[in-house]
Amino acid sequence: MARSSKVTRIALGALVALTIAARARAGESAVDEADKLFKEGRRAAESNEYARACRLFEESFRLDPAIGTLVNLGDCAEHLGDLERAFTAYKTAFARMAPNDDRMARVRGRIDAIEAHSAKLTVKLDDDAPEGTVVTLDGATIDPKKSPLRVAKGAHVVLVTAVGFRGERFAITLAEKESRSLRVTPGAALEAVLPTSAPSEPSHVPSWTLPTSIVALGAGVASAWVGSLAGLVAIDRRDVERAGCNAQNQCTQAGYDAAHDGATWATTSTAAFVASGVLLAAGGALLVVALSRREKNPATIAFGPRGFMLEGRFE
């Protein structure tokens, strides 16, 4: 019995040692990858590819939360005009620095400069906005509860979207050190109700025409909403592109990314509106055919913030 216990202890000890060694190797691998990403980020920043640099620094920091990575993340965010992100990165890095860290003075200076010169924007979401409403500032998702936000002087675009709502776009221009409050809403609710009462006399028209027409009409309304939302995002991306590109068509990384994203959203909007037209036309045609068949109860279709709803009796 004693021998069995000794063997068990040896086996458990070996297992623990192997686990510790595996974790150590995984840690070394993560640090190596973080260092590689950091160096790529530095090269991107030196080439003025600040949007790419920020992405690389973020991933490097996730793998190995080094103070230097955070400082570089703040620097590239500041170059992109994302002052709130830069301020947060600098403040977090400064709080983690040792008292004798020679980077403290430079980082403190950047914090003070952003605080002194940035505009302040407070975004307030309307009380009637549904849960899940998404608010973006210049293409980046923000949390209105964390207002005021530090932003660069100049033009900015706030986009507010929610499922089942039209979406709203707010353009605002701020001067240096200006403070402004903006109340936003996702716009009016989308609602489409189509009564489909049938005539009194039955006919040989197939029974599937009525429900199919209603489904097609509902899908058409949904496609129109998607097209409208994609169009708003495309407009937002176009404004960011204009801010990041000069008359000679030379663009910052943010401007280049906005141009690429804007083209994609514009294509999506066009495709959604085309699909909406086809579906609404097909649904309308089927509805005309279906109305030649008598139903004892009318049917209705509704599409709004609560989703797609179909009511009625089909035989």
Render pLDDT for 282-304 as a digit per residue (tens, 0 to 9).
766 666 666 655 444 455 555 45
What are the φ/ψ torsions at residue 121 (nearest 5 degrees)?
-120, 120
Report the C-alpha gap between 213 and 43 in whole angstroms. 57
Q: Are residues 303 and 233 in the same domain?
A: yes
Return the amino acid letter for 31.
Answer: V
Residue at a domain's end among 141, 167, 189: 189
pLDDT of residue 81: 87
Q: Within 10 A of 180 (CB to CB), how many other CB atoms are there?
A: 16
Q: How far is CA 175 from the centre of its chain?
A: 27
Average pLDDT over residues 188-201: 59
Structure tokens at 49: 């590819």
Pure H helices in 130-252: 209-244
- Are 93 and 63 within 8 A, CB to CB? no
How distant is the alpha carbon of residue 251 from its chain centre?
23
User: Within 47-82, where are the H helices?
Assistant: 50-63, 67-79
DSSP 300: E
- Provide φ and ψ at 288, rounded to 5°: -60, -45
73 with 104, same domain: the answer is yes
Domain boundary among 62, 95, 117: 117
pLDDT at 102 over 60: yes
CATH assignment at residue 164: 2.60.40
Tokens of 6: 């000794």
Domain limit, last residue, from 117, 142, 158: 117
> What mean pLDDT is predicted for residues 70-93?
92
Q: Domain check: are 124 and 213 in the same one?
A: no
Q: What pTM, to 2 d.p., does this model score?
A: 0.52
Which H helix or E strand runs over 139?
A: none
Please give the structure tokens belonging to residue 93.
């890095």
The whole-number average pLDDT for the span 243-260 is 63
Q: Based on the fold, state whether residues 199 and 166 are members of the same structural domain.
A: no
Name the domain count of the chain.
3
CB 90 within 8 A of CB 111: yes
Host domain of residue 271: 190-315
Task: State the chain's mean pLDDT as an integer.
Answer: 76
Cα 205 to Cα 213: distance, rounded to the nearest angstrom: 13
Nearest to 204 by CA among 299, 294, 282: 294
Same domain, 7 and 57: yes
Note whether 60 and 142 are same-domain residues. no
Alpha-carbon distance 64 to 67, whole Å? 9
* Higher local confidence (pLDDT), 173 or 258: 173
pLDDT for position 25? 54
CATH number of residue 111's parent domain: 1.25.40.10
- Looking at the structure, tell me whether residues 194 and 315 fall in a common domain: yes
Same domain (yes/no): 53, 146: no
